[in-house]
Amino acid sequence: MQKIFAHPSIVHRYFAFDCPESLFDENQDSRIKRFTNWSVELSSQAILGALTQAGLTVNDVGGMVINTCTGYICPGISTYLIEKLGLSRKIGVYDLVGSGCGGAIPNLQISEALLDRNRDGVIISASVEICSATFQMEDDINLIISNALFGDGAAASVLWNRPEGFEMISSASMYAPEDREAIRYIHKNGRLYNQLATNLPRLVRKVVAQVVNEILKPLSLEVKDIKHWALHTGGEKIINNIKEEIGLSETQLQATRDILARYGNMSSPTIWFVLRDLMDRGIKKGDWCMMVAFGAGLSSHAYLLRKK
C-alpha cells in the first residue's frame, strides 16, 4: 500500500465526501444518497461553467446526454438536472450507464446525433463520476490500486453549429468483449467492486491502437500528423504502454500526465480535463486533436477534432 499510494505519477485528487472516515462505515443506502447528491451537484456546476464560457444560458439548451458508471439511480441524473438548472421540460435528455472510463466519447457520439436533428440548437454532453462511492476497504490488490488511482469529478461540453471551437471530424469505437473481465465492476453483497487484471496495460494498448487506426487510415493521416492528444489518464503503466504501441512522444502525452498528477483518474470526465489543458496550452486553427478513452467492455473510443 505504501509503494502504490506513494507513486509519484499522482500528486493530488479530489473527493466528494465530508470526511475520509465516512468511507469505512458507509452503508449502501448512504452511498447511493451521496452519489445522487454529488453527481447532480458536480455535473450542474460543470454544465453551468461550460454554458457561461460559451456565452449561453440554460434557456439555449435543446438537449442533453449525461453518462456515469459509478452509481445507478432511477430516474436518472438528467431529471435532477432539469429541475436543478431550470432546463426546459420538453428537451431531449438521455442517461448512459456502463461504459466505464471511456464513457465520454459514446456520450459525444450520441450528442452529435442529437445536434444533427436540431441543427440550430445547443446540446450538452456531460460526464460525472463519484468514484469514491465505489471504494472498498479490503486487502485486495485490485481495490488498493483503485483506491490509489481514482478520484471524483465532472465535465461538460457544448455542441453547436457555429464557427467557433472544434470541428467534429470522425469517431470510432472498438470492443474486445472476450476481455471484459480484465476491467469491470463486479457486484458483491450489493456493492460495486473494481476488478483490474494485471495484464490490462497490454490489452488496452492493442485496442487503443486499433481504434486510432480506424480513424486515421481512411483520412490518410498518421500519428505524427496529430499534434494534440487528449488521452485518458488510465494510469502510468497504461499510458507508457500506449505510448510505445502507437508511437506517441512525451510532448504529445504531457497534458495527460499533468492531469493524472493533478486529478488522478476520474473515470469518464477525465478526457475532458485533458482536452481543457491542451486548450489552455494553445491549439491553433487547423490543428488536429485526437481524443482517446478506454474502459469497461473491454472498449476503446476515439474522436478526431480539428480546431476551427
CATH of residue 195's domain is 3.40.47.10
Average pLDDT on 137-149 reads: 89
| Mean pLDDT for all residues in the chain | 94
Q: Is 301 exposed, middle or buried (0-12, 13-18, 19+ CB in 10 A)?
A: buried
Q: Which residue has cell 480546431?
A: 307
Average pLDDT on 136-152 reads: 90
Provide the number of structural domains found in the chain: 2
Residue 20 confidence class, pLDDT cut points 50, 70, 90 = confident
Q: pLDDT value at position 25? A: 83
Average pLDDT on 275-304 reads: 96
14 and 119 in a single domain? The answer is yes
Could you tell me whether strands 166-175 and 183-188 are parallel, antiparallel, or unpaired per DSSP bridges?
A: unpaired
Could you tell me whether strands 288-295 and 299-307 are parallel, antiparallel, or unpaired per DSSP bridges?
A: antiparallel
Q: What is the pTM of this model?
A: 0.95
Task: Say which residue, 118 or 247, is predicted with more confidence.
Answer: 247
Q: pLDDT value at position 119? A: 83
Q: Of 138, 159, 180, which residue sits at a domain end?
A: 159
Residue 57 confidence class, pLDDT cut points 50, 70, 90 = very high
109 and 184 in a single domain? The answer is no
Range scoring the smallest mean pLDDT among 16-25, 109-118, 119-128, 289-298? 16-25
pLDDT at 24 exceeding the cut of 90: no
116 and 147 in a single domain? The answer is yes
Average pLDDT on 14-33 reads: 89
118 and 187 in a single domain? The answer is no
Residue 65 confidence class, pLDDT cut points 50, 70, 90 = very high
pLDDT at 51 exceeding the cut of 90: yes
Other C-beta atoms within 10 Å of 74: how many? 6
pLDDT at 21 exceeding the cut of 90: no
Residue 197 confidence class, pLDDT cut points 50, 70, 90 = confident
172 and 146 in a single domain? The answer is no
What's the angle, vertex CA 272, arms to CA 58 and CA 120, rounded to 5? 40
183 and 47 in a single domain? The answer is no
What is the tens place of the pLDDT at every residue in 221-259? 999 999 999 999 999 999 999 999 999 999 999 999 999
Q: pLDDT value at position 142? A: 86
150 and 177 in a single domain? The answer is no
274 and 231 Cβ atoms separated by less than 8 Å:
yes
Q: Is 18 exposed, middle or buried (0-12, 13-18, 19+ CB in 10 A)?
A: exposed
pLDDT at 198 exceeding the cut of 90: no
Range of the domain at 212: 166-307
Q: Of 110, 134, 159, which residue sits at a domain end?
A: 159
Write the DSSP symbol of residue 150: B
β partners of residue 128 = 154
Q: Which residue has cell 479490503?
A: 138
Q: pLDDT value at position 120? A: 85
**Strand blocks (E) in 131-252:** 152-159, 166-175, 183-188, 191-196, 228-231
Q: pLDDT value at position 153? A: 98
123 and 188 in a single domain? The answer is no
Q: Of 159, 188, 215, which residue sits at a domain end?
A: 159
